[in-house]
Amino acid sequence: MQNTLSPPNSPALTSSVASMSKTNNISEPFWRRFMLPMIAFAAIIVSTVLTMLIHYLARCEPGFTKKGLYCYVDNCKNSCSAHGSCQFSKLENAFYCACDHPYTSSDCSKCKPSHSLITGEEPMKFNQRFVCAEGPECHGTVALKLENGTFKQKCTCKEGQTGQQCETCVEGFKMFKDNCYKNTCESNCYQNRADCILVEDIFQCVCKEGHTGKSCQKCEKDYKMKDGKCAKK
C-alpha cells in the first residue's frame, strides 16, 4: 500500500494540526490551569486576615485609644470629669469630650458663662466632685438644689460680707482671697510704722523693726524716734 503526502494547505493537514492542539490543551496539568490562580487568591486572603489580626491584637501607646483595628489620639482626659462623654470625631480622627450643659473645656472641668463652679461638701451630696450652678460666683456659703437636671444655688453671706453674691465687705472688714476679715489696722496703725497682716483671721498691726505698742507708736529699747520712725540710737 503506497503512502501519499498531503499538500501544506490541504484540508487533511489542517484538520490533523487542530486535532493535535486540542489534544495538548486537554492534557495540560489541572493545577496549572486552576490551582495556581486559586493558591494566589488564597494567599491574598490569608495575608489580609493576618494583617487585620495583628492590628486587632496590637495595643495602643499611651494617649491613644483603639477604634476597630486602629489607634487614634485620645483627648478624653479624666474621663471628661464625669460631665461629658468621650466620642470619636471623623473629621479630626481623634476622640474628644462632648460636654454636658453647662460644662466646657477639653475635659469638661469648667463652666459656661452665667454659671459658677461649686466645689466642696455641697456637690458631694450629689456624688459630684464639682458642679456648675446657675448664677455668678458666690463668695459666701452656697446651698445647692437640683431642679429639672439643673443645679441652682442659694448664696448666704458670712460675717462681714454683703451684696447679692457676698462680693463686698461691710465697714470694719477687709477682703482677702474672696473672704472678709475683721480689720483693726486702718485707724490704729501708725503709717509706715507697721504692716497690716492677717493673723488668726484678723487683720492686725505687725510692728516694723524698732517699733512697739498696740499701734506701733512707741520705740523699743535702744531705738529713738527720728522723722516719725524708730531708728537705732
Kindly report, residue by residue over 64-84, the tens digit of the pLDDT.
Answer: 888 877 889 999 988 899 999
DSSP string for residues in 49-91: HHHHHHHHHPPPPTTEEEETTEEEEE--GGGGGGSEEEEEETT
Span 115-156, pLDDT tens digits: 999 999 999 999 999 999 999 999 999 999 999 889 999 999
Task: Please give the sequence-ordered ranges of beta strands (E in DSSP) within the chain, or none if there are none.
Answer: 64-67, 70-74, 84-89, 94-99, 103-104, 110-111, 115-119, 130-134, 141-147, 150-156, 161-162, 168-169, 173-176, 179-183, 194-199, 202-207, 211-212, 218-219, 223-226, 229-232
Give tens-digit pLDDT for 95-116: 999 999 999 999 999 999 999 9
Is residue 52 pLDDT above 80, yes or no? Answer: no
> How many other CB atoms sit within 10 Å of the CB of residue 217?
17
154-171: per-residue pLDDT in tens? Answer: 999 999 999 989 999 999
Model pTM?
A: 0.56
Among candidate residues 183, 179, 191, 186, the one with its CA nearest the CA of residue 216: 191
Domain ranges of the chain: 55-109
